[in-house]
Amino acid sequence: MRPTESKQRKKAGPALTRLWTYMIILIACAVIPLALVFGVEFIQRGNMNEAWMWLSSNPKLFVMNALLDFFVFLVIYALVGRLLPTIALSVLLLSVMSFISFFKLKLIGEPFFPWDIFLNKESMNIAPLVTTKSAMLRIGTMLGVVVALLVSSFWLPRLRLGWKTRIVVGLAAVFALYSFGVNAPWASRVMYQMGASEIVWNQSENYGNNGMALAFTMNVKNAIVPKPEGYDEPSMANLAQSLKTQAGVQTASAKANPFSGQQPNVIFIMNEAFWDPTLLPNVTFSEDPAPTVHRLQKESTSGYLLSPQFGGGTSNVEYEVLTGQSMSFLPAGSVPYQQYISKPVPSLAGYFEEQGYKSMAIHSYEGWFWNRENVYREMGFESFMSKDQFNNPQYKGDFISDDEVTNHIIQQVDSTDKPMFIYTVTMQNHGPYDDNRYGGSEVQVEGDLTPEAKNTLETYTQGVKDADASLQKLIDHFTETGEPTVIVFYGDHLPMLGYDFDVYAQTGFISTPKSEKWSLDELRRMRSVPFVTWSNIDLPKEEVPVLSNSFLGAYMLDHMGMQLPETLAYNRELSRKMPGLLRNLVVDANMQMYSDVPEALADDVSNYRQLQYDTLFGKQYLAKYIDSPYLQQTAMPNYNQEFVEKPADSEDDLDGTLNASEKGSP
């Protein structure tokens, strides 16, 4: 062989190697995203057949999802620079997102949203729910694949990209993902041509139709709440004038105060997952698990609240009740406590403080959960008693008992000279309910249920029985002392009774476990939570068939003959025209149901949306034109001072107060 031929072969060797390297990389870039999409959809949908049916029925959407996964793959490749670790990290990232979406859909009917990324400690709350054998097997398989790829990368060719190529590829991929996320015009055209159709009002259907990667990306833009059409200072000035006129009319025709000039304690108790299990058809109970609630439904004002949540998201219900604002105007799956409330906002707490009350929040769980310890300050609460302020409390199951919470409500009222507004959130009956936490139930359930479903329902029902008893204990105390008091008792949402709404489906409460296929009547049933009231001063008895949580505060102030600030007066008037408002369910005054706001109510709802936007995101024009302490609330300067100085009530103090109340002491 001549020297020149040898040199040519030596030069051709590296060139051929580079060619094969680039060919393998190109093949991987084409195949891996397709495999990732199928794997993600298999995990999210729960079985191979549904994933294949979606793929074969929606080839364009499949390609669109693969394109988005391709850009994610490129971003990781640009950062890592080696092919096999990039594949491993891509599998890990997208699989984890898909597992989260799968479990969220199973548990509460909602998929994984972009803003869920910011739920750090809160996300651990569902950890016990995903440790079943089948779940651990799936997760273990995914982790096994990731580990195998990472180990293989030490022996197989590294297939690197040069740093210049990595910079160009990475920046191009980030730009593409950003464009799709913010719905840039060119990206919007691509998604439209590929058959994307965003279903904002039903996110489980949105993810099911479009695929997880595409639906997740389309939701990115929803993290920013857009300004409502027509929102500006002149329009808010006109609305302010209308509100002042309307509030004046309501004041002139207001109900007489039934408390003869006294200020009653006002106690809201939002009992965790409280619902009436006797509403389930085709099952019977060995005894009435909620005799107090059922009696109050006959004797006092009561009805059903339309909750924006199912199975979780307690803080969103608090948000609606305390502020009078609606989750319907915020992105699906968002959490205002985490995302939006970082400055003072008008709330019932601030309203009662202006009336001379002491406002206190009580929650028998961690104060940091859902950012409550900060949010309650911005809402104008004077104090927040969290789990840390419960000294040596009684537990039932994994959580502080409802009875213990009742004891602390009594102790706080009896030890405070001022009338009190207390907003209480309990924890005892938090799911899941397949843990046999009580070692057996006092209430036995009979019906055509699987053993697992029967055990779940009996465990939940025992929690209902305890909650009902704690309410009766509170009523007994104020009946005995005679101190003017109003109690409002309700649940935040229906309980999650097994995966795929298992107990509800087995009993026939719903026709299908597929929430996107529910009728409007089924949707209403799955969001309707009973509420009851009690007072030791006669109040009018009213039956309320449906009322959104966002209207509850205004309704109760009006019911008690208290003067409503302008925005809550608007809520009260709107609730008479449209008592029910959810993202995908509207109920009008004639109890007609709609999946969207009917034309006759569009202007009223538009005003409601503008009032909320002005308060939460806008320039607070309304406060400029309405001189109202309610609209100009500030955080209490002494917020939680009593618990900073005195971290927890002593057991002696609590026992002494309860003993005094038992003797009839005020």
Structure confidence at residue 206 (pLDDT): 82
pLDDT band at 171 (very low <50, low <70, confident <90, very high): very high
- Average of pLDDT values for 330-356? 90
Whether residue 159 has pLDDT greater than 70: no
pLDDT for residue 488 is more than 80? yes
Name the residue among 391, 413, 412, 394 with its Cα closest to residue 404: 394
The residue with greater pLDDT, 23 or 55, is 55
Question: Over 80: is that where the pLDDT of 496 sits?
Answer: yes
Indicate the range of 249-253, 283-287, 371-375 predicted with least confidence.
249-253
Q: Where are the alpha helices (DSSP H) in 194-341?
A: 203-210, 212-220, 233-252, 291-299, 314-323, 336-339
User: Mean pLDDT for the chain?
Assistant: 86
Q: How confident is the model at residue 251 (pLDDT cuts 50, 70, 90)?
A: low
Average pLDDT over residues 535-546: 93
Percent of the chain topping pLDDT 90 = 55
Structure tokens at 208: 């099911």
User: Model confidence at 9, in pLDDT bands (50, 70, 90)?
Assistant: very low
pLDDT above 60 for 51: yes
Contact, 529 vs 493, CB < 8 A?
yes
The per-residue pLDDT for 513 is 87
Span 332-337, mean pLDDT? 82
Q: What structural domains and CATH numbers belong to the chain?
A: 3-223 (no CATH), 233-662 (3.40.720.10)
Q: What is the mean pLDDT of residues 390-411?
A: 95
Checking if the pLDDT of 420 tops 80, the result is yes
**pLDDT tens-digit profile of 437-467?**
998 889 999 999 999 999 999 999 999 999 9
CA dihedral sign, ordered 661, 270, 641, 634: negative
528-535/302-306 β-pairing: antiparallel
Give the helix ranges, DSSP H, for 617-666. Answer: 621-625, 641-645, 651-662
Rounded to an integer, the average pLDDT of 620-638 is 91
pLDDT tens digits, residue range 91-117? 899 988 888 888 877 766 678 888 777
Spatial separation of the C-alpha atoms in residues 470 and 312, rounded to whole Å: 22
Query: Per-residue pLDDT for 664 more than 50?
Result: no
Give the model's confidence band at 83: pLDDT under 50 very low, under 70 low, under 90 confident, else very high: confident
CA atoms within 13 A on the CB side of 652: 0
For residue 660, pLDDT beyond 50: no
Residue 134 reports pLDDT greater than 70: no
pLDDT confidence of residue 658:
43
Q: Residue 319 pLDDT > 90, yes or no?
A: yes
Q: Is the pLDDT of residue 647 over 90?
A: no
Residues near 497 by Cβ (< 8 Å), separated by ≥ 6?
431, 433, 453, 456, 457, 460, 503, 504
- pLDDT, tens digit, for every residue of 357-396? 999 999 999 888 888 999 999 999 999 999 999 999 999 9
The percent of residues in the chain predicted with pLDDT above 70, rounded, is 86
Residue 120: predicted pLDDT:
54
Least confident of 66-70, 358-362, 431-435, 471-475: 431-435
> What tokens appear for 546 in the block?
């449906």
Pairing of strands 586-587, 580-581: antiparallel
Q: For residues 469-473, give the mean pLDDT.
A: 98
Residue range 175-227, pLDDT digits in tens: 999 999 888 889 888 988 898 887 765 677 788 889 999 989 888 877 778 89
633 confidence band (pLDDT: 50, 70, 90): confident
- Cβ neighbour number for residue 14 with a 10 Å cutoff: 9
662: pLDDT strictly greater than 50: no
- Residue 184 is predicted with a pLDDT of 86
SS3 letters for 453-506?
A: HHHHHHHHHHHHHHHHHHHHHHHHHHHHHCCCEEEEEEECCCCCCCHHHHHHHH
Residue 255 has pLDDT above 70, yes or no: no
pLDDT at 665 over 60: no
Q: Average of pLDDT values for 531-536?
A: 97
Convert the pLDDT of each residue in 558-599 to its tens digit. Answer: 999 999 999 999 999 999 999 999 999 999 999 999 999 999
* Closest CA relative to residue 367, chosen from 300, 444, 315, 404: 315
Q: What is the pLDDT of residue 256?
A: 62
Mean pLDDT along residues 143-154:
79
CB count in 10 Å sphere of residue 205: 17
Strand (E) or helix (H) holding 525:
helix 520-525
Q: Could you tell me the pLDDT band of residue 659, with boundaries at 50, 70 and 90? A: very low
Range with top average pLDDT, 19-28, 69-78, 259-268, 354-363 = 354-363
Strand bridging mode 358-363 / 420-425: parallel
Q: What is the dihedral of CA 363, 367, 371, 375, to 10 degrees?
A: 60
Per-residue pLDDT at 477 exceeds 90: yes
Task: Let me know how long the chain is.
Answer: 666
Of 61-65, 98-102, 126-130, 302-306, which range is least confident? 126-130
Alpha helix stretches (DSSP H) within 302-444: 314-323, 336-339, 348-354, 372-378, 402-414
User: In the structure, how many helices (H) and strands (E) does the chain have?
Assistant: 25, 15
The gap between the terminal CA atoms of the chain, to the nearest Å, is: 111
Residue 22 has pLDDT above 70, yes or no: no
Is residue 215 within 8 A of residue 332, CB to CB? The reply is no
Using alpha carbons, select from 71, 77, 107, 74 the residue that is nearest to residue 214.
Answer: 71
CB 412 within 8 A of CB 391: no
What local confidence, expressed as pLDDT, does residue 151 receive?
Answer: 81
The H or E element containing residue 437 is none
